[in-house]
Structure 1
Amino acid sequence: MNTSELSFTPPNETNNQANRPGRCATQQLSNFLSETTLFANLDAATISEVAAALVRRRYQARETIFYQGDPGTVLYMIYSGQVRIFVSGLDGAETSLVLLGQPGEIFGDFAVIDGLPRSASAVAMLDTVVFTLSREAFQRIVLRAPQVAINFMATLSQRLRYSTSQLDSLATLDISTRLAGKLLELAGSYGAPVQDGHRINMSINQSEIASLIGATRESTNKLLRVFRRQGILRLKGGQIIILDMAALRRAAQG
């Protein structure tokens, strides 16, 4: 889904201030929702009910959306921007769980199931707009439209499969292979063709890449330099440009 193709544009509300969609945006928002995985295959009346229950919030780049341990009362859905989900150890070290940036992706979803405190933290990687849906509203909509529960279970299943594959990667692959695989994943999700390759359109630093692959910043930095010398990628202005996708795929195969 490409939000640039949607005519709905969120107003310039105060940073992370709650704001309900206005009347002029109702149809555009309904169109957006009907294209998301969570609210696919719903009738117009149910989509309208969902739209009326949503609250829009805007976060600046690098602003925390919620902290691990915060009360969990709402589900979040990305409209635009990018979000990193991570957990913090007792020593303060961060382990990234997933990067999200596709319109319609959800996070903080455990809150609408059990209402327990947040099991992870979320931070906006870029200027980000999200919609929130309260636990009460979600449960009311599920009772009205069981298809939402089916869609929700499919989303959770996909997330669980992804987590399992990441655990398998950490257990069986060396750091170089994990880094190559993660760069391929990021290029597939956030890559854009440029003159000399594919640029990863994500605001992510080397420490955050390291936390995604279970490595230290130092080892990640060293491997990125190796990939650069091999002509696989180029680091420019804090961005990663993949120059040789075939070589990166070979590196990801170990």
Structure 2
Amino acid sequence: MTQAPAAQSRNTLKGIAILASLPPDSVERIERRCAWKHYAPGEPILDYLDKSDDVFFIVLGEVRVTIYSTVGKAVSFREMGSGEIFGEFPAIDGGPRSASVEARTNCLIASMPASTFRELLETEPGLANALLPRLTKTIRALTTRVYEFSTLAVNNRVQAELLRLARFGPKDGKSARIVPAPTHVEIASRVSTHREAVTRELNRLSRIGIIERRGGTLLVTDVDRLADMVHDATGE
């Protein structure tokens, strides 16, 4: 891990979604108050229950959000990509970290102390206005995950997770690519099951033509058909 000097041209927050409504000079002021670091794939960025309170901006790359049980079982919530932020909950309520975050790819991350972030919420109304819908979206997404864990069978949870990933992937007509293809273990951790159950369902979906494995890519051949399967299971 190396620290990148703020003077480098790539060290910009212009791609951060919640800052999009701010004038350029405001974004530049925020950039100057950030620390900038590179992370390699698999490198931890923050730990569950960590007492730090920094807020992080994903400038480049993707991260994985995970909680580990006392026996070491990983439960992955989601991946986040360039333009997103994480770590804002402790900055807002002063509580501990709710999850661990590690780099999924090579990342450039900007960070700032909670005190600075709270100051910006007061002095930059556009930032606060952008943060509120984001927090609401996060609550809705977590509510959906709790519903799926509580009511859906394992095969339906796998289908729902594939649909979620496909909707973020590159589209081509009715198909979508999930790149890189998640491992069976990664999917299992996201839907709270074991690798063998994921393998069985992926093999079944492959046999009926819903998915195809192409090298490092998982192709969902018909997103609408997969969505119909999830709808039949959830009623939504």
Is the shorter-chain TM-score for this pair beyond 0.5, marking a shared fold?
A: yes
Q: Deviations over 1:46-80 (max 9, x none)?
A: 22211111222211112221221223221111122
- Of 219, 222, 227, the residue aligned with 1:249 is 227
The 5-angstrom pairing of residues 214-225 of structure 1 reads 214-225=192-203
Q: Which residue of the partner structure matches residue 135 of structure 2?
A: 156
Instruction: Check if 1:51 corresponds to 2:31.
Output: yes
The 5-angstrom pairing of residues 194-205 of structure 1 reads 197-202=175-180, 204-205=182-183
Q: Which residue of the partner structure matches residue 38 of structure 1?
A: 18
Q: Do the aligned partners of 1:126 and 1:203 also contact (CA within 8 Å) in 2? A: no
Q: Do the aligned partners of 2:4 and 2:38 also contact (CA within 8 Å) in 1? A: no
Aligned-pair distance for 1:118?
2.0
1:22 counterpart letter in structure 2:
A
Q: Deviations over 1:213-250 (max 9, x none)?
A: 22221111110111111111122434311123333223
- Inter-partner Cα distance in structure 1 for 2:226 and 2:72: 32
Percent of residue pairs identical = 25
- Inter-partner Cα distance in structure 2 for 1:171 and 1:240: 27
The RMSD of aligned alpha carbons is: 2.3
- Inter-partner Cα distance in structure 2 for 1:190 and 1:76: 24
Tell me whether 87-96 or 116-125 shows the greater mean CA deviation: 116-125
- Of 151, 154, 162, the residue aligned with 1:175 is 154
Q: Secondary structure at the match of 1:249?
A: helix
- Inter-partner Cα distance in structure 1 for 2:117 and 2:5: 16
Q: Deviations over 1:131-159 (max 9, x none)?
A: 21221221222222233222222211111
Which residues of structure 1 form unaligned runs of 5+?
Answer: 1-14
Number of residue-to-residue matches in the alignment? 232
Q: Which residue of the partner structure matches residue 240 of structure 1?
A: 218
- Inter-partner Cα distance in structure 1 for 2:146 and 2:177: 27
- Of 62, 73, 78, the residue aligned with 1:82 is 62
Q: 1:63 to 1:203 in 2, by over 3 A?
A: farther
Which residues of structure 2 form unaligned runs of 5+?
Answer: none
Q: Do the aligned partners of 1:232 and 1:244 also contact (CA within 8 Å) in 2? A: yes
Q: 1:110 to 1:119 in 2, by over 3 A?
A: same
TM-score (norm 2): 0.87
Q: 1:104 to 1:24 in 2, by over 3 A?
A: closer
Q: Do the aligned partners of 1:176 and 1:251 also contact (CA within 8 Å) in 2? A: no
